[in-house]
Amino acid sequence: MHSPILDLDFIDSRTPEQASATSCDTKVTEETNTGRQRKLYIESYGCQMNFSDSEIVSSILFEAGFDTTSEAANADLVLLNTCSIREKAEQTVRHRLTQLQHLKKKRPGMVVGVLGCMAERLKKNLLEEEKMVDLVVGPDAYRDLPSLINEVDEGQKAVNVLLSREETYADINPIRLNSNGVSAFVSIMRGCDNMCSFCVVPFTRGRERSRDAHSIVREAQDLVKQGYKEVTLLGQNVDSYKWQSEDGVEKVNFAQLLERVALISPDLRVRFSTSHPKDITDEVLYTMKKYDNICKYIHLPAQSGNSRVLELMNRTYDRNWYIERVDAIRRILGEDCGISTDMIAGFCSETEEEHQDTLSLIDYVQYDYAYMFFYSERPGTLAARKLQDDIPLEVKKRRLQEIIDKQREYSQIRNQLAVGQVQKVLVEGFSKRSDEMLSGRNDQNKVVIFPKQHFKKGDYVNVLITDCSVGTLFGEPVH
């Protein structure tokens, strides 16, 4: 995720530093050596939920006798944790699997497997038709991995892509992969009940179910004991989190869960992703306002600024509803609250006038940054079955570029507002360009670069913002 380059399946208006903190990316395992007999290598693609799942998988396989390696060439087991949200994501994984076939010929006995959303969607193609993998495991079957690996060791192909209505992995303590030791993901729910017409997630991750609130709090408490300073609560739609005890006496919604996690420690920053415009309540917003350690930043995907297109997308809200939610955020949390979004250009039958509605919504909200796509039809979705992908590619690309150009203007404007302010920054490490500069994020999830001086990773530093670019703030520590 870099500053906009016409790739052109997905565009993000932020810097690489911001991107690595938030969404679509690729990550691999780090090296661990505790004397276990076999080595595991995982590459994770796509959303934060996939990265969180890879930490669960690593924990399960650690107990089954696997250390991790940062080099696929040294691995006994190579797993790709995949994404099906866009065609380009699947193409990337297919290309990587082809590379691994060459590596496998040099390393007899290596097992190659596919996990996650692409595994669920393309199991037959990957196992039988293309013979690219030994193992295919869906998002709800990770506990079965040790026995599936045994099947492969005995010379069979192995598959489990069954979806569950109960599995939340609440009892598994994730092994933190690629961790900076400062920020960690905590999964609070799995699956999705929102049947957006363009999206494959309900079919690849199953129905929505919320994790036991007590297990979430315990995991966050353990992270604080380990020295972590920030947690991000993850779910396909966190605002619809709703858990109750087996006896039905205790009930916890998302606002109440937020409060429980915020109360663990005033030094623990709390973030969350992703919010659905139909579900984010004033109760959540007032809880955010009540606690200084809940970050004032909300990712609120709009997808389109036109009500007819939103109805075709089955988003269950219209333009006015979305604007009312933005107004509530600004009214309750103030103009400084960061808001980001997703936008899709060229959805089925979108007219030029409807495209202009998307541009005007960007004008109204003035997002801090955005993930921007042109529409890519996904097999099996409602849109693929019932709607015609009738917008020419060159029109999609042109509309997307217009969205990008407008959003970059507002990213610059929103960053410029921070110049002259003193902001609290959590240090995550060195800047990518210099070991004399530190990089961290402010409340609004924006990257701030400033001189190292005597500060270190994990410190909170008050920084006077002195300059900015489209994607980054620059400043000086204030003592």
Query: Binding-site residues for [4Fe-4S] cluster, please?
Result: 47, 83, 117, 192, 196, 199
3-state helix, strand, coil in the chain (%, to 5): 35, 25, 40
Q: Which of 423, 418, 430, 424 is nearest to 469 (CA)?
A: 418
Contact 467, 476 (CB under 8 A): no
* Residue 162 token pair: 């069954």
Residue 399 phi/psi, 5-degree rounding, is -65, -40
Dist CA 244 CA 342 (whole Å):
31
Please name every residue paired with 427 in a beta bridge, in sequence order, or none if there are none: 440
**Cis bond leading into 316, ω under 30°?**
no
CA-to-CA dists, residue 385 to 140, 216, 390, angstroms: 26, 38, 13
d(CA 306, CA 7): 25
Residue 199 forms beta bridges with which residues?
none
Check if the beta carbon of residue 408 is closer than 8 Å to that of residue 13.
yes
Q: What is the dihedral of CA 369, 374, 378, 381, to 10 degrees?
A: 70
From the annotation, which residues make up the binding site? 47, 83, 117, 192, 196, 199
User: What pairing do the DSSP bridges indicate for beta strands 66-68 and 38-46?
Assistant: parallel
Which amino acid does the sequence have at 337? C
Residue with tokens 């060791």: 153
> What are residue 249's phi and psi, to 5 degrees?
-75, -45
